[in-house]
Chains A and B, each alone.
Chain A
Amino acid sequence: MSLRLKLLALGLATLVLPWAGCRYAREMESALREGELNSLQAVSQTIAASLQGRTDLLYREALPADSPAAGLTAAATSPPGAAAAPPAAPAPTGPATPAATTSAAAAASVAASAVSALEPLGPYDLAPLALTAAPLIDGYSDDWPRDPAAWKTFSKDEQHSFRILTGVYERMLYVLLEVHDEHPVYDAGGRNPLDPASYGDRVWLGIEDPRGGEQQVFLASTGPGSVSARRIEPGEYGEQSAPLEPRIRGAWQPTPEGYRLEIRVPLSMVGNRFGVLVDDRDARGATPVSYGTLRSDDLRTLGRLIVAAPELDTYLAQFMQPGLKIAVLTPAGQVLARADALTQGSGLGRETPGLARLYRRFVDRPGERQLIEADAQIYDRDHLQVIGRLEATQTADRWIRLRDHALTRMLNFTLSTTLVAVILMFAFAAWLAVRLARLRRASESALTRSGLVTSFPETEARDELGDVARSFATLLGRLNEYTSYLRTLAGRLAHEIRTPLTIVRSSLDNLEAEQVSESARTYLARARQGSERLNAILRAMGAATRVEEAIGSAERVDFDLVPLLNSAVAAYRSAFPGRTFSAQLPAGPVTLHGAPDLIVQMLDKLIDNAVDFSPAGSTITVRLLAPAQRAVIEVDNSGPPLPAHIEGRLFESLWQSRPDGDSRPHFGLGLYIVRLIAEFHGGEAAAQNLEGGGVRVSVRLGALIAR
């Protein structure tokens, strides 16, 4: 793992910031949620308190005249226009009459404020649904809520039954009636609606009006479609008339089982009691089978209608705000009224942008409810009895948006911090890596250059890397001193040995001038041979130094390599008759700026080397190439391949790999001199084994001079 990657990983550790941010956002969200819940709780408590004792609103029961709460709540909560009239409306009429007549027993046993509507639902009681939209009066049930539990079924026997669904929407009571009738019979219609001969199937509505009086309305259809209602009016002479009741609208549709009747009754007509009776006739004018929630003999209502005052909706509406839903329920859980603005936008701004939506994924726990709910009990005037329940539901919209807003800003900030940190760290790592690489290159090249370390990078830096570089520089400086000592050792050694050798040789020279015996002369000759060899060794030891000196003082001229190589190869042919020389030279001139003497000297060493290592009679090829405006001299011989271990050391000083038994002194300087001369010309030397056997030494020289 490179330094760059490590620091990059370290930079990624700053991702803990956004992570912590997400955690924080979650905490914040919980706190917000808690706060919202509390305030929702408070709101519902407040609304519930404002509804305390308001049975007139909840159940359309008149308030007792002496109720202190009545005036108070009306004054405190009267919304403009909505609640001004309703509380006042039932008050002037005698409030005691209906309560006394309908539920005298309950009123007697419980306190004066007891609410008759709170008695458990009897079999004939109807509790309309709080509808969310007005059903179209067309005789079809598809715009009603699909809630099987809300239906109530009344039956006479196997063949005679109907089920009824009631609902309230905006001051209207809606009734959906599905009657099981094997022989639906339409009314004859037309003439007198009270003529018994014209009677078909009829549906009676028993309505207790707000004043306590009972009223009977019947709907009789002469065909599918809209049906009108007629109310029974007692006439002056005991006669009855049946004028049209235009406030009630109905629609009649046949069904496979019988017929369906959809009715709309204004709530203003309806008091606390309401009932339905079905007259099922099998033929026109026949005796009907009557059943339902009206007494079949006098059509008095049997059951109550548990429905809130229409003003309750208006009353609740004043508390509405987007994203809030308030519902008032009976203690049993039936919805009396609701105001719903859950789906409305909160007005806190447009839908969050894509980035925020992405962030939200980090924070949102799956399956978490996005709604908060609170409820509060509604008590009666004396705070003794629970008369209803208030449920408030609020969408998470408000705090989610608040949270998203904060989250987006925070994540934007921390992520950009991370990004900057990562970029900075990466750049820093790259910079460090560059410095280290520079150091590494310098230290690598420092040692290969025969100890010629001149300067070392990064020694000016004030950090630890600078310290390392400085100690490297010190180390290399010492190494340099040592290597230069070693390098000059040969020369110095040669110099020191030369003096005693001169003593030996001059003594031998003198001895030859003396009279010595023949046998002594043999030894003399051997001593001379030995001293000559010693002399040759000394000369070879000094050769590298002399070449370096020669290179140092060499003058550069422009010269053509082709005639130079030609003449040199011709010379080698005569100098080494045991080898065949082949020169492969380009036709045109190859002009180089350099020292021709040194080039020839280099060539001498290359040829010497090639001759030494190639078998007698073999061919040595000298080739001059000029690829890419650089001169390359190659010398191929067919000698044994280079051992793998000497690669790269071939051109070092005092290194050689020669077959044993060579008596000539060698110090491995030949190819070192080649290298020195190649470097003088801005090039380098390399050796490689040839595929077909043999070795190629190639010397790359500097750039050619353009003609």
Chain B
Amino acid sequence: MKRLVAIVEDEAAIRDNYAAAFMREGYAVRCYANRVQAMQAFAARLPDLAVIDISLEEEPEGGFELCRQLRALSAELPIIFLTARDSELDAVSGLRLGADDFLTKDLSLPHLLARVNALFRRVDALRKPDAAAEVIRRGPLSLDAERMQAQWDGQVVLLSLTEFWIVHALARHPGHVRSRQQLMDAANVVLDDNTITSHVKRIRRKFQSIEPNFDAVQTVYGMGYRWVE
């Protein structure tokens, strides 16, 4: 059975273009122009993945509201924010509401598809009870690339997809400096330096909420970051 992707986007042309791309990739697609429509449909049937714009017709923050309601319906449902807004504040609010990823609309379709695929892989991996997953262990850190899940001392660190990929890219080769460009490539995103910096900051904070003395992600000024064991 085809996976169902729900696109909530008020701009018809974009909506249709995304729909076309997803359908070409073999997904079933449902499109909604506003929150009310989308919620009615979701109440009837939950999609396998939701791509949501933040501003929806009359509601400038309708996407956030929708995300919260959707998260209330299902804890596991992957949600991706895809928006024209690129402010740090929006990204933080979106991710805090439980979105798995926060993407800006200048992301190309192939990149978007790659992320969607990755998310589905994670969902699948999480559903498999004991997969012989490819796990990277670096001291207390263990990274499950299949489930895209990070653990520190056995505790799950809730990372967004972009954050997971950044940690993954760093931890795979400890001690090697990864430039911001390399991290962007690894995370399948096109971001500017400041966004990478704030991603790294968020990653540190998440690890520090478990281990207050966490300092494995080190800044190499002018070059990038590296994982230190």
Which residues does A use to contact B, with CB under 8 Å? 495, 498-499, 501-503, 505-507, 509-510, 513, 535, 538-539, 542-543, 545-547, 549-550, 553, 564, 567-572, 575, 596-597, 600-601, 603-604
- For chain B, the count of residues having a C-beta within 8 Å of the partner chain is 31
**Is residue B105 contacting chain A, with contact meaning CB distance below 8 A?**
yes
Minimum CB–CB distance from A13 to chain B (whole Å) comes to: 64
Q: In the complex, which of the residues B20, B84, B192 has the most CB atoms of chain A within 10 Å of its own CB atom? A: B84
Minimum CB–CB distance from A550 to chain B (whole Å) comes to: 5
Please name all residues of chain A whose beta carbon is closer than 8 Å to the beta carbon of B87 when the two chains form the complex: 545-546, 549
CA distance A498 to B13 in the complex (A): 13
**Is the CB–CB distance between B109 and A604 below 8 Å?**
no
Minimum CB–CB distance from A594 to chain B (whole Å) comes to: 13
Which residues does B use to contact A, with CB under 8 Å? 11, 13-14, 17-18, 20-21, 24, 84-89, 104-106, 108-110, 192-195, 197-198, 219-223
Q: 9 additional contacts, CB 8 Å, given A506-B21, A539-B192, A570-B222? A: A498-B84, A499-B84, A507-B13, A509-B17, A545-B87, A549-B89, A567-B222, A571-B220, A575-B222
**Is the CB–CB distance between B105 and A502 below 8 Å?**
yes
Report the nearest B residue to A538, measured CB to CB.
B106
CA distance A365 to B43 in the complex (A): 114
**Is the CB–CB distance between A499 and B14 below 8 Å?**
yes
**Is the CB–CB distance between A501 and B21 below 8 Å?**
no
Minimum CB–CB distance from B176 to chain A (whole Å) comes to: 14
**Is the CB–CB distance between A510 and B192 below 8 Å?**
no
Please name all residues of chain A whose beta carbon is closer than 8 Å to the beta carbon of B223 when the two chains form the complex: 567, 570-571
Please name all residues of chain B whose beta carbon is closer than 8 Å to the beta carbon of A509 when the two chains form the complex: 17, 21, 108-110
Please name all residues of chain B whose beta carbon is closer than 8 Å to the beta carbon of A502 when the two chains form the complex: 11, 14, 84, 105-106
Minimum CB–CB distance from A493 to chain B (whole Å) comes to: 12
Please name all residues of chain A whose beta carbon is closer than 8 Å to the beta carbon of B192 when the two chains form the complex: 539, 543, 546
**Is the CB–CB distance between B24 and A513 below 8 Å?**
yes
CA distance A549 to B223 in the complex (A): 22
Q: In the complex, which of the residues B17, B87, B104, B221 has the most CB atoms of chain A within 10 Å of its own CB atom? A: B221
Please name all residues of chain A whose beta carbon is closer than 8 Å to the beta carbon of B14 when the two chains form the complex: 499, 502-503, 506
CA distance A7 to B194 in the complex (A): 58
**Is the CB–CB distance between A568 and B194 below 8 Å?**
no
Q: In the complex, which of the residues A553, A564, A597, A601 has the most CB atoms of chain B within 10 Å of its own CB atom? A: A597
A546-B86 CB under 8 A given contacts A502-B106, A510-B109: yes
Please name all residues of chain B whose beta carbon is closer than 8 Å to the beta carbon of A553 when the two chains form the complex: 88, 198
**Is the CB–CB distance between B84 and A603 below 8 Å?**
no
A507-B17 CB under 8 A given contacts A499-B105, A546-B194, A572-B222: yes
Sorted nearest first, the 6 A-B pairs with minimum C-beta distance are A571-B222, A568-B222, A509-B109, A506-B17, A502-B105, A498-B84
Please name all residues of chain B whose beta carbon is closer than 8 Å to the beta carbon of A499 when the two chains form the complex: 11, 14, 84, 105
Please name all residues of chain A whose beta carbon is closer than 8 Å to the beta carbon of B24 when the two chains form the complex: 510, 513
CA distance A538 to B194 in the complex (A): 15
**26 chain-A/chain-B pairs, Cβ below 8 angstroms:** A498-B84, A498-B106, A499-B105, A502-B14, A503-B11, A503-B14, A506-B14, A506-B21, A509-B108, A509-B109, A509-B110, A510-B20, A513-B24, A535-B106, A539-B192, A546-B86, A550-B88, A550-B197, A567-B220, A567-B223, A571-B220, A571-B221, A596-B221, A600-B222, A601-B194, A604-B193
Q: In the complex, which of the residues B14, B89, B197, B222 has the most CB atoms of chain A within 10 Å of its own CB atom? A: B222
Report the nearest B residue to A535, measured CB to CB.
B106
Please name all residues of chain A whose beta carbon is closer than 8 Å to the beta carbon of B194 when the two chains form the complex: 546-547, 549-550, 601
CA distance A71 to B170 in the complex (A): 146
- Across the interface, B13 reaches (CB within 8 A) one of A503, A542, A597, A600, namely A503
Q: In the complex, which of the residues A499, A513, A543, A569 has the most CB atoms of chain B within 10 Å of its own CB atom? A: A499
Please name all residues of chain A whose beta carbon is closer than 8 Å to the beta carbon of B193 when the two chains form the complex: 601, 604
CA distance A543 to B87 in the complex (A): 10
Please name all residues of chain A whose beta carbon is closer than 8 Å to the beta carbon of B198 when the two chains form the complex: 550, 553
**Is the CB–CB distance between A596 and B219 below 8 Å?**
yes
Report the nearest B residue to A501, measured CB to CB.
B106
Minimum CB–CB distance from B84 to chain A (whole Å) comes to: 4
Please name all residues of chain A whose beta carbon is closer than 8 Å to the beta carbon of B88 when the two chains form the complex: 546, 549-550, 553
CA distance A547 to B194 in the complex (A): 7
CA distance A596 to B104 in the complex (A): 27
Minimum CB–CB distance from A117 to chain B (whole Å) comes to: 130
CA distance A495 to B84 in the complex (A): 6
CA distance A575 to B220 in the complex (A): 14
Please name all residues of chain A whose beta carbon is closer than 8 Å to the beta carbon of B86 when the two chains form the complex: 542, 546
**Is the CB–CB distance between B21 and A513 below 8 Å?**
yes
Please name all residues of chain A whose beta carbon is closer than 8 Å to the beta carbon of B110 when the two chains form the complex: 509
CA distance A555 to B208 in the complex (A): 16
Minimum CB–CB distance from A407 to chain B (whole Å) comes to: 82
Report the nearest B residue to A555, measured CB to CB.
B201
CA distance A498 to B190 in the complex (A): 14
**Is the CB–CB distance between A604 and B222 below 8 Å?**
yes
Please name all residues of chain A whose beta carbon is closer than 8 Å to the beta carbon of B195 when the two chains form the complex: 546
CA distance A576 to B104 in the complex (A): 30
Report the nearest A residue to B18, measured CB to CB.
A506
Minimum CB–CB distance from A699 to chain B (whole Å) comes to: 16
Please name all residues of chain B whose beta carbon is closer than 8 Å to the beta carbon of A550 when the two chains form the complex: 88, 194, 197-198
Report the nearest B residue to A551, measured CB to CB.
B194
Report the nearest A residue to B193, measured CB to CB.
A601
Minimum CB–CB distance from B206 to chain A (whole Å) comes to: 16
A505-B106 CB under 8 A given contacts A546-B194, A550-B197: yes
Report the nearest A residue to B105, measured CB to CB.
A502
Please name all residues of chain B whose beta carbon is closer than 8 Å to the beta carbon of A600 when the two chains form the complex: 221-222
Minimum CB–CB distance from B113 to chain A (whole Å) comes to: 9
Q: In the complex, which of the residues B13, B106, B195, B198 has the most CB atoms of chain A within 10 Å of its own CB atom? A: B106
Minimum CB–CB distance from A620 to chain B (whole Å) comes to: 14
CA distance A575 to B85 in the complex (A): 31
- Across the interface, A498 reaches (CB within 8 A) one of B21, B105, B197, namely B105
CA distance A553 to B87 in the complex (A): 12
Report the nearest B residue to A506, measured CB to CB.
B17
Report the nearest B residue to A534, measured CB to CB.
B106
- Across the interface, A564 reaches (CB within 8 A) one of B85, B105, B221, namely B221
Please name all residues of chain A whose beta carbon is closer than 8 Å to the beta carbon of B18 when the two chains form the complex: 506
Please name all residues of chain A whose beta carbon is closer than 8 Å to the beta carbon of B106 when the two chains form the complex: 498, 501-502, 505, 535, 538-539
Minimum CB–CB distance from A673 to chain B (whole Å) comes to: 10
CA distance A553 to B92 in the complex (A): 12
- Across the interface, B17 reaches (CB within 8 A) one of A498, A503, A601, A604, namely A503
CA distance A545 to B221 in the complex (A): 23
Report the nearest A residue to B17, measured CB to CB.
A506
CA distance A545 to B88 in the complex (A): 10
Report the nearest A residue to B220, measured CB to CB.
A567
Minimum CB–CB distance from B137 to chain A (whole Å) comes to: 29
Report the nearest A residue to B88, measured CB to CB.
A549
Please name all residues of chain A whose beta carbon is closer than 8 Å to the beta carbon of B219 when the two chains form the complex: 596-597
